[in-house]
Structure 1
Amino acid sequence: MDRRQFLATSTAFLAAPAWAEADAGAPAYVTAASRPDGSTWIVGLSAAGTQRFAFPIPGRGHAAALHPSRAEAIAMARRPGTFAVVMDCTDGREITRLASPEGRHFYGHGAFTADGRYLLTTENAYDVPEGRLGVWDAEAGYARVDDLPSGGIGPHEIIRLADGGFCVANGGIQTHPDYERRMLNIPTMRPNLTYLSEAGQIDESVEPPEAMRLNSIRHIAASGAQVAIALQWQGNPLEQVPLMATHRRGEALQYHDHPETRRLKQYAGSIALAVDGREIVVTGPKGGHVIFFDAASGSPIPGRDLEVAAGAAPAAEGMAITVAGGLAFGDSRSSRFVPVPGDWSWDNHLVVIG
């Protein structure tokens, strides 16, 4: 099969995995976490906040990619990690482990093709430098079969869209593992949002205006034709800029300010849409605050304080957000706290699987 056509067998499939609906014991969410002793874990949580499993991993994790038809999640290492763990989500058992090739590291995110055949992982080819997407064959034990250009520097999150294609948040920040997490190109950084066809070909790329060039595009969520974007400002720390943007194909990026943006301390941790699609939430783990927007208009909705608010995902009550000591369920109008024992410190993502 032609190396640029192997993704074209996918068809749109964005619903919850069939196995999650069939298995009452399966977790509703997967998230990365750590404990005070420095140990790092992947944790499965039920819709009620009950811990289903906790699996130790060799370094700090970030997000997970979920297979559309098998009870498998790929727990990705946080930049500049080089490991990914394939897990059985019903019990937290390890199936296999992936390692990034020489000269690469993972960025903490991945996405499956709609048919579940291939996994795409965001990677840094740090000596080039160039953003790449690793391609792994899930039917061949996750053998690495190819890689593709991400369309920019620092590809962070990748999501699959309703048409079977993909959207990549190229954060624009050049890094190298020899310099740990130091940002090496701030004077010249250029983030972008790149769209790929289901065959892996770059269809469109949009950059921010010059005034927003230092607003790194990090995390994304999609609803219909609209992509919502969480931003992290790398410019003057005294300057206040929007930390949420939206985009539709063929248009410019639209930035949406909020009177409480300052509370996030120029760092948006996660972004998610409520289960009914009406609200967007942006978390601020550094500021212990979350802000809300009307998904249709982008208008701000009053936020609230939530200690160490990190990952966010749709939930039956609107949204679920990982916070200090547990989960917060609700929306802009109300919220309830559910404790999760274990003294966990959550990473920035809560991935919904049920």
Structure 2
Amino acid sequence: MASRRDFLAGLLAAGAVPRPGWAEAGAPDFLAAGRRGSGDYVLCGLRASGDLAFEVALPGRGHAGAGHPERPEAVAFARRPGTFALVIDCRTGAVLARLETPPGRHFMGHGTFSAEGRLLYTPENAFDEGQGRIGIWDASAGYRRIGEFWSGGIGPHEALFLPGSDVMAIANGGIDTHPDSGRTKLNLPVMRPALVYASAAGEILETVDLPPEWHLNSIRHLAVRSDGLVAAAMQWEGDVAAAPPLLMLHRRGQVPSFPAFDPAGHRAMQGYAGSVALSGDGRIVAISSPRGALVQSFETATGRPLAAVAQADVCGLAPAGEGLLLTSGTGRIARFSGAGAETLAEQPVAWDNHVVALNRAGSRPG
């Protein structure tokens, strides 16, 4: 006779028992890590209104989270060079799994799910080899690691799938680091950042290099539009006075473009773009600089500068309707239209670098 457990498992497999979804976690639109005034680190779900949908404790500083497209699970990555990530049940705060990198690897603070949520992909540093890797984890089997592939460069920081495809865009920052040297950058004279496109199986499909004179412009963060347009934010490791643009727009098979403000406005970013996002309607692209306390927005169709908006310690950017959501280390959450920022909420949380839009099944971010 079948046991009750077997009976329930059969019902679940047949879809007769509803699986828990994001509604049970308060129906958040975004994920963001931060620090409470007490010094405690948390991962929060945010609604488009700026209200908190949930808050769960983290054992240390988080960087960026990856939300499962169907289940109310978030993978919270330790800040680079962390060797662990936690899979958290956002309904209860329970740790469902702990991901540990293999020897000689560490996470880079980001990860992304496949469209159906079965696999998790994690940019990693294979520091003894001085190469980048993309780790593959089976989220349908307790987040068991099942493989990895070369990222196509050094220092992959973020990777995202192009919508509706199994092609992944990878931001290879080009900077070689090793845990024995802390966060020291070991190869600046010869660093070579690259935007790489790879298949989900690891085949390198296309590599986009920067002009040689810009080889110190580390490609770090990505945003993708529904039609495959990729926006990449960069961080300049050279003389700030001579910094090249910090934003790149690219389509596969085409020549990249590099929108930028006038020289004075560009220098105000202090050579550092901490996040990048495309508006929900795809018309606006923006980059943020916590060092410059500034957000710059551009028209995606032309690269024309739109507005530069000052905001203290701003970094997090995510699509929200026809505009963007901004988060800052001051606790501010704001809606950005491309021309100005409207405060939505002031939360008692110092938001970390990124806010991530949840692509929940059957819904749209923001």
TM-score, scaled to structure 2 = 0.87
Describe how 1:37-56 pairs up with structure 2 within 5 A: 37-56=38-57
Hey, what's the Cα distance between the residues in 1 that align with 2:92 and 2:341? 29
Equivalent AA in structure 1 for residue 211 of structure 2:
P
Contact preservation (8 Å) 2:88, 2:94:
yes
Match in the other structure for 1:100: 101
Contact preservation (8 Å) 1:27, 1:90:
no
Describe how 1:246-261 pairs up with structure 2 within 5 A: 246-259=249-262, 260-261=265-266
Match in the other structure for 1:216: 218
Equivalent AA in structure 2 for residue 255 of structure 1:
F
Q: Is 1:281 equivalent to 2:279 in the alignment?
A: no
Structure 1 residue 177, shift from structure 2 partner: 1.0
Q: Secondary structure at the match of 1:178?
A: helix
Q: How many pairs align?
A: 335
Q: Aligned to 1:242, which of 203, 226, 245? A: 245
Q: Aligned to 1:267, which of 272, 281, 297? A: 272
Q: Is 1:116 equivalent to 2:117 in the alignment?
A: yes
Q: Deviations over 1:72-94 (max 9, x none)?
A: 11111111011111122344432
Equivalent AA in structure 1 for residue 116 of structure 2:
D
Q: 1:285 to 1:172 in 2, by over 3 A?
A: same
Hey, what's the Cα distance between the residues in 2 that align with 1:261 and 1:251? 25
Match in the other structure for 1:315: 320
Say which is worse superposed, 113-122 or 54-63, in terms of deviation.
Answer: 54-63
Say which is worse superposed, 33-42 or 331-340, in terms of deviation.
Answer: 33-42
Structure 1 residue 118, shift from structure 2 partner: 1.1
Contact preservation (8 Å) 1:191, 1:207:
yes
Describe how 1:110-259 pairs up with structure 2 within 5 A: 110-162=111-163, 163-223=165-225, 224-259=227-262
Equivalent AA in structure 1 for residue 173 of structure 2:
G
Equivalent AA in structure 1 for residue 316 of structure 2:
G
Q: Is 1:79 equivalent to 2:76 in the alignment?
A: no
Contact preservation (8 Å) 1:165, 1:199:
no
Unaligned runs of 5+ in 1: 1-17
Structure 1 residue 345, shift from structure 2 partner: 2.1
Structure 1 residue 164, shift from structure 2 partner: 2.5
Describe how 1:285-300 pairs up with structure 2 within 5 A: 285-300=290-305
Structure 1 residue 317, shift from structure 2 partner: 5.4
Structure 1 residue 228, shift from structure 2 partner: 0.6
Q: 1:29 to 1:175 in 2, by over 3 A?
A: same
Structure 1 residue 339, shift from structure 2 partner: 2.8
Hey, what's the Cα distance between the residues in 1 that align with 2:21 and 2:210? 39
Hey, what's the Cα distance between the residues in 2 that align with 1:40 and 1:24? 19
Structure 1 residue 54, shift from structure 2 partner: 2.5
Q: Percent identity, aligned pairs only? A: 45
Contact preservation (8 Å) 2:56, 2:90:
no
Match in the other structure for 1:14: none
Structure 1 residue 31, shift from structure 2 partner: 1.0
Hey, what's the Cα distance between the residues in 2 that align with 1:214 and 1:114? 33
Say which is worse superposed, 329-338 or 287-296, in terms of deviation.
Answer: 329-338
Q: Is 1:326 equivalent to 2:310 in the alignment?
A: no
Q: 1:253 to 1:212 in 2, by over 3 A?
A: farther
TM-score, scaled to structure 1 = 0.90
Hey, what's the Cα distance between the residues in 2 that align with 1:23 and 1:333? 35
Q: 1:179 to 1:37 in 2, by over 3 A?
A: farther
Contact preservation (8 Å) 1:51, 1:340:
no
Q: Secondary structure at the match of 1:108?
A: coil
The higher radius of gyration belongs to 2
Hey, what's the Cα distance between the residues in 1 that align with 2:277 and 2:92? 26
Contact preservation (8 Å) 2:24, 2:72:
no
Hey, what's the Cα distance between the residues in 2 that align with 1:150 and 1:19? 32
Contact preservation (8 Å) 1:191, 1:216:
yes
Hey, what's the Cα distance between the residues in 2 that align with 1:28 and 1:91? 18
Hey, what's the Cα distance between the residues in 2 that align with 1:114 and 1:158? 13
Match in the other structure for 1:301: 306
Match in the other structure for 1:345: 350
Hey, what's the Cα distance between the residues in 2 that align with 1:84 and 1:117? 17
